[in-house]
């Protein structure tokens, strides 16, 4: 879409764009280009010389069992966070959409966790699930379950999943509620008139009508789980115990910032870029088409 | 239950059954919603309670379910000296840093995006689409995927350990630009024609017509972007190692260290409450703008 009436100006539009473009070039495109360049180079340990090694860094990264471990962790973590956050949000949104007293109050009480930073959410859950000082952690131990997320990898994973999903439910809830409220009442009434039971009605009428929202939220939740949960993992487990909660983003950080393995970290960055590009492309294709099944 | 007059006993029974079903349905709905709210509130409640007891009570693992009497002392310590065993930075300093960073990021993103969206929507010039796509592509390059080279740029520009270093690299915004452009396209051509007829130039039109019309969108975006700025984690962690520039979210996570039980958990929890308060207050007080901003930026 374009407007008919426009302003003329030879320099002004460039001046208006300059700040945004400057930041974009200096802090986005230049570093991204450097990441791609470094991903095909190898530096000697003193950083004096570097030589072109082609796809050697990628081959090494993809053959590294620790990297494959991070891929697996990321898959489990992202799928669990998305499923948990979406499921809980859909359930609560369906309930809050009913004509009940106090719907507004419930809404307010359910959306504020969005404002809690991931790292702060991690601290809250740590305090709750700490094996010796946490309310729930102690209760679990008292109940005979050996709970210590600092020793048990599966428990650590469960805890970072819980803390990450907890924070994301409010976001999904807002979108599901908006989606539910945009379904015309007449459609629901027609379905009710046909005598279908509520649960059947939900899965055959409401849920298909929500599919654009659900699809959009799946992409957003996966992106969130991939990129925005660094704070949760960093604050809660530091990728441990062992490497049990080390995700792809966390590994880039550890290899690049702590171990200073530039080539390997750059190759991982390039792989991550490909993942974001894929996720963004899917998201925007969907937005353009507004899929309805 | 007695059937109302004029209705036979069978219909009365049916109506009573329907009423009972509705009542049950409503109880079920409220029950689950209350449970949901409680699950959401439990971590916060325990944090609040934890911030009102002394360190020894918590260290023994005896966190009670009700608040204690040490609230004032704990918050005063966290505010003036800092939380945790090491009390590295006072919460007052970290809150100020976070507030400044969040405000500058939100204001910067909005200003920069307004300008570039205005250029793209109201002007025709060579390279228009190329610039537009350049801005759009930043969506695909989050900090997380270019950590090391971006850090190198920061070192080269001497932006490490500065407020500018915390803010400037984060002020580019594809979503805000897209949103403003979308909105600008709905401003009728007649407005532009009228402005031109009155002899108003593009900058005058921007200041007197476009910005006032965008106030609602700016408010909605501001809420989202303030929270985005406040909750930054990886970037401040990389760019700042000077404790006087520490933000409260990163400072809080440094306090807990490896999660040792023998820490001053009471002052840590007080710091956590202080770290949550501003963004949560913004969401609750500006709920309408918040929901609007959220659903519009993500379209």
Contact flag B202-A12 (C-beta cutoff 8 Å): yes
pLDDT at B86 over 90: no
Confidence category of residue A169, pLDDT binned at 50, 70, 90 = very high
For residue A77, how many other CB atoms are within 10 A of its CB? 24
Give percent above pLDDT 90 in chain A: 17
A278 CB-contact burial (10 Å; exposed 0-12 / middle 13-18 / buried 19+): exposed
CA distance A238 to chain B (A): 8
Instruction: Please state, in angstroms and rounded to a whole number, the distance separating the CA atoms of residues A181 and A79.
Output: 27
A193 pLDDT above the threshold of 60: yes
For chain B, percent of residues with pLDDT exceeding 90: 18
Domain ranges of chain B: 9-80, 92-297
Q: Which of A24, A126, A128 sits opposite B138 (nearest CB)?
A: A24
- Say whether B46 and A127 touch across the interface (CB within 8 A): yes
Kindly determine whether residue A5 and residue B149, on different chains, have CB atoms separated by under 8 Å.
no
pTM for the predicted model, two decimal places: 0.86
The pLDDT value given to residue A293 = 35
Bond from prior residue into A241 cis (ω within 30 degrees of 0): yes
In this prediction, residues A261-277 reach a mean pLDDT of 83
pLDDT confidence of residue B84: 74
Does residue B9 have a pLDDT over 70? Answer: no
Band (pLDDT 50/70/90 cuts) for residue A46 is low
What is the predicted pLDDT for the residue at A47?
64
pLDDT tens-digit series, residues B17-61: 888 887 888 888 888 888 888 888 888 888 888 888 887 777 777
Residue of B259, B277, B278 to mutate for A, most A C-beta atoms under 10 A: B259
- Pairwise CB contact (< 8 Å): A100 & B284: no
- Enumerate the residues of chain B whose CB falls inside 8 A of the CB of residue A110: 36-37, 40
d(CA A121, CA A115): 10
A98 pLDDT higher than 60: yes
Q: Is the pLDDT of residue B173 over 50?
A: yes
pLDDT at A9: 77
Q: What is the mean pLDDT of chain A?
A: 84
Predicted local confidence at residue B297, as pLDDT:
66
Q: Do A133 and B58 touch (CB under 8 A)?
A: yes
Judge whether residue A290 has pLDDT over 50: no
Q: Give the class (CATH, top level) of B92-297.
A: mainly alpha
Within 8 A of B202 by CB-CB distance, chain A residues are 7, 9, 12
Closest by Cβ to B295, choosing from A21, A126, A175: A175
CA of B161, closest CA in chain A: separation in Å?
A: 16
Contact A276 B169 (CB under 8 A): no
Answer yes or no: is the ipTM higher than 0.90.
no
pLDDT given at position A158:
92
First to last CA, chain A: 27
Who has greater pLDDT, B192 or B114? B114
Please report the pLDDT score of residue B254 as a whole number.
87
Q: Does residue A128 contact residue A45 with C-beta atoms inside 8 Å? A: no
**Interchain pair A114, B149: CB under 8 A:** no
Domains by residue range for chain A, with CATH = 59-289 (1.10.3720.10)
Residues of A in contact with B135 (CB under 8 A): 20-21, 24
pLDDT the model gives residue B249: 92
Specify the residue for token string 């400037």: B168
Lowest mean pLDDT of A50-64, A223-237, A274-288, B139-153, name the range. A274-288
Q: What is the pLDDT of residue B8?
A: 62
| Residues in CB range of B11: below 8 A, 6 or more apart | B3
Task: Render chain B in DSSP notation, one character per residue.
Answer: -PPPTTS-HHHHHHHHHHHHHHHHHHHHHHHHHHHHHHHHHHHHHHHHHHTTS-HHHHHTT---SS--S-HHHHHHHHHHT-STTT--S-HHHHHHHHHHHHHHHHHHHHHHHHHHHHHHHHB--TTHHHHHHHHHHGGG--GGGGHHHHHHHHHHTT-TTSHHHHHGGG---HHHHHHHHHHHTTS-HHHHHHHHHTT--HHHHIIIIIHHHTHHHHHHHHHHHHHHHHT--HHHHHH---GGG--HHHHHHHHHTTT-SSS-HHHHHHHHHHHHHHHHHHHHHTHHHHHHHHHHHT-
A292: pLDDT strictly greater than 50: no
pLDDT tens figures, B107-166: 999 999 999 999 988 888 888 888 988 888 887 788 877 888 888 888 899 989 999 999
Position B226 confidence tier, pLDDT thresholds 50, 70, 90? very high
C-alpha B152/C-alpha B158 separation (Å) is 10
Average pLDDT of the segment spanning B81-97: 83
Least confident of A38-42, A88-92, B52-56, B258-262: B258-262
Q: What is the SS3 assignment for A155?
A: helix
Please judge whether A3 and B36 are an interchain contact, meaning their C-beta atoms are less than 8 angstroms apart. no
């Amino acid at each position: 879409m374009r407007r008919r009436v426009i302003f003329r100006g030879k320099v002004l539009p460039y001046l208006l764009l300059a700040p945004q473009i400057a930041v974009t070039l200096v802090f986005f495109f230049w570093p991204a280009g450097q990441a791609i360049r470094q991903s095909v180079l190898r530096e000697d340990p003193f950083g004096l010389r570097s030589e072109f090694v082609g796809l050697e860094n990628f081959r090494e990264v993809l053959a590294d069992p620790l990297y494959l471990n991070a891929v697996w962790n990321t898959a489990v973590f992202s799928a669990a966070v998305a499923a948990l956050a979406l499921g809980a949000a859909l359930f609560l949104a369906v309930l809050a959409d009913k004509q009940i007293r106090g719907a507004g109050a419930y809404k307010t009480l359910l959306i504020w966790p969005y404002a809690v930073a991931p790292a702060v959410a991690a601290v809250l859950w740590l305090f709750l699930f700490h094996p010796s000082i946490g309310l729930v952690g102690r209760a679990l131990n008292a109940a005979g379950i050996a709970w210590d997320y600092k020793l048990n990898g599966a428990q650590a994973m469960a805890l970072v999943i819980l803390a990450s999903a907890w924070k994301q439910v409010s976001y999904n809830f807002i979108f599901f509620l908006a989606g539910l409220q945009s379904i015309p009442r007449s459609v629901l009434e027609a379905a009710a008139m046909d005598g279908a039971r509520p649960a059947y009605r939900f899965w055959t009428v409401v849920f298909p009508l929500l599919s654009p929202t659900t699809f959009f939220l799946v992409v957003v939740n996966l992106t969130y789980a991939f990129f925005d949960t660094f704070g949760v993992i960093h604050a809660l487990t530091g990728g441990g115990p062992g490497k049990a909660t080390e995700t792809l983003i966390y590994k880039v950080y550890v290899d690049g910032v702590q171990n200073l393995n530039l080539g390997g970290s750059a190759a991982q960055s390039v792989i991550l870029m490909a993942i974001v590009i894929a996720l963004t492309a899917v998201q925007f294709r969907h937005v353009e088409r507004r899929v309805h099944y | 239950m007695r059937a109302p007059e004029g209705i036979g006993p069978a219909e009365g029974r049916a109506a009573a059954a329907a009423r009972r079903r509705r009542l049950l349905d409503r109880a079920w709905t409220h029950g689950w919603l209350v449970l949901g709210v409680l699950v959401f509130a439990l971590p916060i409640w325990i944090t609040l309670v934890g911030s009102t007891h002394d360190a020894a009570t918590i260290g023994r693992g005896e966190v009670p379910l009700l608040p204690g009497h040490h609230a004032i002392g704990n918050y005063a310590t966290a505010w003036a000296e800092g939380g945790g065993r090491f009390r590295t930075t006072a919460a007052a300093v970290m809150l100020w840093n976070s507030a400044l960073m969040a405000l500058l990021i939100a204001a910067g993103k909005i200003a920069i995006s307004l300008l570039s969206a205005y250029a793209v929507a109201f002007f025709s010039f060579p390279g228009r689409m190329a610039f537009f796509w350049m801005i759009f592509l930043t969506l695909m390059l989050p900090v997380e995927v270019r950590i090391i080279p971006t850090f190198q740029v920061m070192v080269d520009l001497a932006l490490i350990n500065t407020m500018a270093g915390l803010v400037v690299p984060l002020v580019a915004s594809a979503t805000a630009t897209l949103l403003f452009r979308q909105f600008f396209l709905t401003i009728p051509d007649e407005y532009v024609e009228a402005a031109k007829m009155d002899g108003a130039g593009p900058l005058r039109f921007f200041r007197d017509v476009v910005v006032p019309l965008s106030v609602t969108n700016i408010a909605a975006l501001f809420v989202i972007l303030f929270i985005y700025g406040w909750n930054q984690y990886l970037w401040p962690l990389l760019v700042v190692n000077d404790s006087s520039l520490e933000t409260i979210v990163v400072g809080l996570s440094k306090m807990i260290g490896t999660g040792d039980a023998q820490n001053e958990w009471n002052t840590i929890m007080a710091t956590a409450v202080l770290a949550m308060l501003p963004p949560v207050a913004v969401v609750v007080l500006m709920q309408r703008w918040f929901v609007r901003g959220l659903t519009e930026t993500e379209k």
